[in-house]
Amino acid sequence: MHEYPGQHRILVAVDCIIFGFDGVNVKLLLVKRSLTPEQGKWSLMGGFINPSESPDDAANRVLEERTGLKDVYMDQFMVFGNPKRDPVERTLSVTYFALIDIHQYEEQLSGEHSPEWFLLDNMPDMVFDHAEMVTIALKQLRYKAALHPILFQLLPGKFTIPQLQALYEGVYQTEFDDRNFSRKLLSTGLLVKLAEKDKQSSKKGAFYYRLDQSHYEENFEKFLNLVPNPDKFF
């Protein structure tokens, strides 16, 4: 079983940094830790890797077990491996960041396991080094979202341009010019205009759009410059 003799084996966990958007604010999903120590303190959703699982499998399993969410956008992110990060026993954490539309999953999430959404500027104390993970992941989210159309993952299947703009403004904590924003996004060719309008937030009403899925996949890796003056955020 231990074929490489004399080596040190380490517990390996996955932790998911789950961002959501409710139409107004970008939020982060946390759960209460179920193990001692720090039981009951807020924590990222995580779990240990099982013998037959890859870290990616483990992250997807953890997410599904705890929230019922499947087929979520999830990226491997960073390894946190300071030998003292978990005071109980050395544990390596492979982190993932995930993006979901809050409304689509609100019901599943209101259940037994008490996950809760937190505003980014109002985060509770978190276990171990989870606060650091979140800080770095948010930076990474901003970085990646400036170049690639990942934030669409946070929106429902149909959405308006003003909603999209509110999302970008939430992520970058700033305001963009409405007129340039809509033209820039439309010029990517990623959006398909629908007949229907959203009349909730204005009298004129804003057209709904949906993603052009094939165009989205083809252009995902291109550098799109979706954010004005991106340099100022880095």
Partner DNA sequence: CCAAAAGTGTTATCAATACACCCATGT
Partner DNA sequence: ACATGGGTGTATTGATAACACTTTTGG
61 scored as a contact of a second copy (CB under 8 A): no
Rg (alpha carbons) of the chain, rounded to whole number: 20
Rounded-to-integer distance, Cα 206 and Cα 117, Å:
28
Q: Which residues, 185 to 204, sit near DNA by CB under 7 A?
A: 186-187, 199, 201-204
Work out the angle at residue 57's Cα, subtended by the Cα atoms of residues 53 and 63, and round it to the nearest 5 degrees: 130
Residue 195's identity, in one-letter code, is A
Rounded-to-integer distance, Cα 178 and Cα 145, Å:
18
Shortest Å distance, C-beta 26 to a second copy:
21
Rounded-to-integer distance, Cα 146 and Cα 159, Å:
19
Sequential DSSP letters for 101-155? EHHHHHHHHTSTT--EEEETTSPPPBSTTHHHHHHHHHHHHHHHHHHS-GGGGGS
Among 81, 111, 157, 189, binds a second copy (CB under 8 A): 81
Pick what 183 binds: a second copy, DNA, none; C-beta below 5 to 8 Å, kind-dependent: DNA
Neighbours of 221 (CB within 10 A): 9
Among 16, 92, 154, 161, binds a second copy (CB under 8 A): 92
SS3 231: helix
Among 54, 104, 108, 213, binds a second copy (CB under 8 A): 54
Among 105, 207, 216, 233, binds DNA (CB under 7 A): 207
Distance, CA of 188 to chain centre: 23
Task: Give me the 143-182 binding string for DNA, x by CB under 7 A, dash otherwise.
Answer: -----------------xxx--------------xxxx-x
Among 113, 144, 184, 210, binds DNA (CB under 7 A): 184
110 scored as a contact of a second copy (CB under 8 A): no
Q: Which residues, 157 to 216, sit near a second copy by CB under 8 A?
A: none
62 scored as a contact of a second copy (CB under 8 A): no
Shortest Å distance, C-beta 102 to a second copy:
28
Chain residues binding DNA by CB under 7 A are 160-162, 177-180, 182-184, 186-187, 199, 201-207, 225, 228-229
